[in-house]
Chains A and B, each alone.
Chain A
């Protein structure tokens, strides 16, 4: 899995080396870097955040969006249909998260029509199946290619052996919320690791604001082989009257369906060299029903279907002394990237666009030990996108240990996003409609980041970072003055600079605290403050054992005011509280969560497709969950 490039493999390689030493020598080694933290992320050339399964349980995180809200520099916007991720001040409304790369166990999960990274209830994996989530901010195109513009999210799932039997969760809460999960996992004597799980969820905060999903997860691993299936489908009512639909008529809803199948073969070809071969299949189906009053009421259906195959080969080697080499090649063939738009009755077709495509990339990364305390991480990737000419994205990082407990990193890199099928080909005729633009070019970002990490003690970590990025040829929707139609053009530019600070403390009692603040200033090419760009974010998450195995997880999250398309929304602070208590029989657990516990009323900025300028968020919500193990 490619995410291992960033951090996991490095720690793993080091551990392999240590086991070569006899116990007598191990006893002479001094511990210099602190690892009371779940993962040694310090080796990654960036300010990585890792959220573990235990954090997810302690804080009652329901979705990937909930997890990401706690991460430094990120903010999530919800328009009562999809959740949108804002990164370091860039969170323009109407973007489907196409500027972050989402990986599931190291495999690309963004679809091939909108390039969207799904993070709300449409994300197809239950958070209770997650082992950890890593957010790697900064440009990732030198390894991952397109979309890794602002960062990479890697969702790593649990293994069957981690469950060691059956698990079930049942939950109920306010807004007619009900959820359930049944999972089984284990490892056979012969060494086959199996994990099977099904989940379902529904909620209805408002008459038209219904939300329901179903999910399936299956994986079998044996020796070097792993086969994994992920499937999820989610249907969401549209309560906002988006795209000019009748605001109070039932029947307007979107369904998003994701299927990922992945076969992986990973094995050491030598003591110091590992080869990974991987074949993935992805299928994404979107179907939206939009009820318009013509009159009479007519249901317009907007659908898309994307199917793709992705083959990747990668070698990680430490065969040369002082070097850690990663080389890989990737080829993606899109069997389908089709978009349709039609009225159901009377039938009228407005769009029937069927496409195929292919793209490929090769990459090389080397981490060179320049001195005992200084490493250089250099990577470059060449991509041939679906359309247009090839693109080269380098990244350079210096990692310096000036003192035993201190790590300084300096990172400079480029990343890009290729125009997607929606931007290139979607067209809706008529006045106020939209037209395609097959001549779109890629958009590019250039980022410089500095990170300082200091382990005051094995249980206290401080991290400071500063960044600056510039985007050019930004793809944005504009109105063509010639015909009044909306069209995507490479007209935009944006730049942002900012800084962040994080402190993490763990106590032997199991208590822990993570607090971070970030400040950023993001503007467009004319120096105008970007829409949906908070200048200050602050998050605090604490887990406190209350005795008898009972734990409380408390969170405070602050975002300062944001500009909307027509005005501003004020800043807000929300509090979340989760209490978890063990129950008999052993392994059972009751968890009660209060989200937005202080019932703060606050809106998020709306995208241009909504009639309103601001969209009200959920007030206080209660959710109780019972977890059982068999």
Chain B
């Protein structure tokens, strides 16, 4: 059977889940052993119910929790922050406001251009592709798995990360 038609953001929600699986947060980013992993959206939530549907999943033995955050300051408590496309213009400002907070930033970009986020999610034709910025990952004290880097369409900031 041909796969069911896939919605762009249903697919992107599955990507977020995989990004969380393939990343490691520094010790102390998740204090309590049963604390959930917060999956946040800054700006309009384009996922519809697909994001909340991730809440049945676990990553590194922790529950996922979907949140919508109003400001970058509020996002410091997130583990993964999805920066919705309409907020892209403010992406530098948002990433700057996060400072060294261990937040895996994922920017939603139409074309796969570079953004200040750790991961930039874009469309490559009708497929979803992503690029990674190791410098940004280092500043957030995150370790990305080699499998993630291998699948990325582009890896930037390798020198900076060394």
Question: Do A33 and B6 have beta carbons less than 8 Å apart?
Answer: yes
- Nearest to B44 among chain A residues (CB) is A54
CB-based contact A35/B9 at 8 Å: yes
Interface residues of chain B: helix, strand, loop or mixed (majority): mixed
User: Nearest Cβ in chain A — how far from B72, in angstroms?
Assistant: 8
> Which residue of chain A has the shortest Cβ distance to B31 in the bound complex?
A189
CA distance A11 to B5 in the complex (A): 11
Whether B18 lies near A26 (C-beta < 8 A) is yes
B45 in complex: contacting residue of A30, A34, A38, A509, CB < 8 Å: A38
Segment of B48-56, B99-107, B131-139, B154-162 in the binding face = B48-56
Contact A27 B6 (CB under 8 A): no
Whether the pair A21, B5 counts as a contact (CB closer than 8 A) is: no
Contact A36 B46 (CB under 8 A): yes
Query: Which of B6-22 touch A at CB < 8 Å?
Result: 6-11, 13-15, 17-18, 22
Chain B neighbourhood of A19, CB < 8 A = 13-14, 17-18, 54, 57
Query: Is B53's CB under 8 angstroms from A26's CB?
Result: no
CB distance from B49 to the nearest CB of A (A): 4
B-contacting 9-mer, from A80-88, A158-166, A194-202: A158-166
Chain A 60-94 interface residues, beta-carbon cutoff 8 Å to B: none
Known A-B contacts A11-B49, A27-B151, A510-B86; the reply to A401 vs B71 at CB < 8 A is: no
Q: Are B73 and A31 in contact (CB under 8 A)?
A: no
Across the interface, which residues of B come within 8 angstroms of A404, CB to CB?
5
| Complex CA distance for A350 and B67, rounded to whole angstroms | 55
Residues 5-45 of chain A, each 1 if its beta carbon lies under 8 Å from chain B, else 0 = 00011011111101101111011111111111011100000
Interchain CA distance A31-B8 in the complex, whole Å: 5
Check B69 for interface membership: any CB of A closer than 8 A: yes
Tell whether, in the assembled complex, residue A26 and residue B70 are in contact, meaning their CB atoms are under 8 Å apart.
no
Question: What are the residues of chain A within 8 A of B69 when measuring CB–CB?
Answer: 164
Is A441 at the interface (CB under 8 A from chain B)?
no
The smallest beta-carbon distance between B5 and chain A, in angstroms, is: 4
Q: Is A161 a contact partner of B67 (Cβ separation < 8 A)? A: yes
Let me know if B73 and A586 touch, CB within 8 A: yes
Task: Give Cα A39–Cα B86 distance, bound, in whole angstroms.
Answer: 17
Cβ–Cβ contact B126 & A32, under 8 A: yes
Interface membership of A244, Cβ < 8 A: no
Contact of B126 among A30, A187, A586 (CB under 8 A): A30
Chain A minimum-CB-distance residue to B19: A23
**Which of these, B8, B18, B128, B151, contacts A36 with CB under 8 Å?**
B8
| Bound Cα distance A23, B126 (Å) | 16
Chain B residue numbers with a CB within 8 Å of A28 are 127
**B62-100 CB contacts (< 8 Å) to partner A:** 63, 65-71, 73-74, 85-86
Report if A528 contacts B (CB, 8 A). Answer: no
Set of chain A residues within 8 Å of B85, measured between Cβ atoms: 508
Neighbouring A residues of B146 by C-beta, 8 Å: none
Given A35-B10, A508-B110, A162-B67 contact (CB < 8 Å): yes
B130, closest chain A residue (CB): A27
- Whole-angstrom CA separation of A200 from B77 in the bound complex: 32
Complex contact A27–B8 (CB within 8 A): no
Chain A residues whose CB sits within 8 angstroms of the CB of B52 once the complex forms: 12
Given A164-B69, A508-B110, also A30-B50 (CB < 8 A): no
Measured CB to CB, the nearest residue on chain B to A54 is: B44
Report A-chain residues with C-beta under 8 Å of the C-beta of B49: 4, 8-9, 11-12, 15, 39
Q: How far is the CA of A408 from the CA of B56 in the complex (A)?
A: 32
B101 smallest CB distance to A (angstroms): 15
Asked whether, in the complex, the Cβ of A33 is within 8 Å of the Cβ of B7, the reply is: yes
| A residues near B18, Cβ cutoff 8 Å | 19, 22-23, 26
| A250 is an interface residue with CB less than 8 A from chain B | no
Beta-carbon nearest neighbor of B73 in chain A: A586
Which residues from B are CB-within-8-Å of A27?
A: 127-129, 151
Whole-angstrom distance from the CB of A507 to the nearest CB of chain B?
10
9 contacts between A and B (CB under 8 A): A11-B10, A11-B48, A26-B14, A26-B15, A30-B127, A31-B8, A31-B123, A31-B128, A369-B1
Q: Which residues of B contact A (CB under 8 A)?
A: 1-11, 13-15, 17-18, 22, 31-32, 35-36, 44-46, 48-50, 52-54, 56-57, 63, 65-71, 73-74, 85-86, 110, 123, 126-129, 147-148, 151
